[in-house]
Amino acid sequence: MKILAKLLVAIVVVCSIAACNDTETYADKKETEKKAIAQFISDSSITVISEEQFETQGYTTDISKNEYVLFADDGVYMQIVNAGCGEKIKSGETVTMLCRFREYNIEEDTVTIYNDDNYFARSADNISVTKTSGSYTASFISGWFSSSYSTTTVPTGWLIPLDYIKIGRPSGDDEDVARVKLILPHGQVGTTVASTYVYPYFYTISYERGI
């Protein structure tokens, strides 16, 4: 009986150790996220430039070199595909933005939600944005992102481009809306899914001033 008891104790200890080893910590998940982003950058042949170089280039990214600027404090990578037409959002101003986007889960290698194809042509997400003393606050009024994630909170990373693009409405064939590409770590996305699983995302987004 003593031998059997000792055997049972040993089995419990082994199972407990195995369970602990199978439990991924938040630090483990962040490391996995970091590696996934690095692999995505490598696979996409992205050239990363510093904020200093970005400033030297007049706050532009060279698309021919597939440049993305890294905002080191936020862990956000941004490429400006088109700086847009019209004007930047002024301090003290509240505007409605129409955003069309495609969300890609980098770690899971899959497109999750989008509203940027012909089927959703009239279904841009509506966002209210206010600029106050150089910072932005925003919330979804309606749209696919907010309904999919049951939130009115706009991803923080979506607001980073606003200092560098114009939010207007094209008035001719020679004008276009602002378009950017973003690589966002989970904290800059902010959805329950991103935060729970520590998923990084890649976004292509257009920004247009609402009526």
Asked whether the predicted pLDDT for residue 12 surpasses 50, the reply is no
pLDDT at position 122: 66
- For 41-58, the pLDDT digits (tens) are 999 999 999 999 999 999
Q: How far apart are CA 18 and CA 80, in angstroms?
A: 47
Going from N- to C-terminal start, the domains of the chain cover 26-209
Topology given in CATH for the domain delimited by 26-209? Chitinase A; domain 3 (3.10.50)
Regarding predicted confidence, which is higher, 204 or 22?
A: 204
Segment 13-19 shows an average pLDDT of: 39
Percent of the residues in the chain that have a pLDDT greater than 90, as a whole number: 83
- Rounded to an integer, what is the distance from CA 185 to the centroid of its chain? 7
Parallel, antiparallel, or unpaired for β 110-114 and 125-132? unpaired
The residue among 100, 98, 105, 99 whose CA lies nearest residue 115 is 100
pLDDT at position 120: 62
- φ/ψ of 9, rounded to 5, equals -60, -40
pLDDT at position 21: 46
Sign of dihedral through CA atoms 51, 55, 58, 59?
positive
Q: Are 102 and 203 in contact (CB under 8 A)?
A: yes
pLDDT at position 22: 58
Sign of dihedral through CA atoms 109, 107, 77, 192?
positive
- For 158-211, the pLDDT digits (tens) are 999 999 999 999 998 889 999 999 999 999 999 999 999 999 999 999 999 998
pLDDT at position 211: 81
Q: Which of 7-16, 25-34, 133-142, 179-188 has the lowest mean pLDDT?
A: 7-16
pLDDT band at 18, cuts 50/70/90? very low
- For 89-125, the pLDDT digits (tens) are 999 999 999 999 999 999 999 999 999 987 665 689 9
pLDDT at position 123: 81
Percent of the residues in the chain that have a pLDDT greater than 70, as a whole number: 88
Q: Any idea what DSSP says for residue 86?
A: S
Asked whether the predicted pLDDT for residue 20 surpasses 50, the reply is no
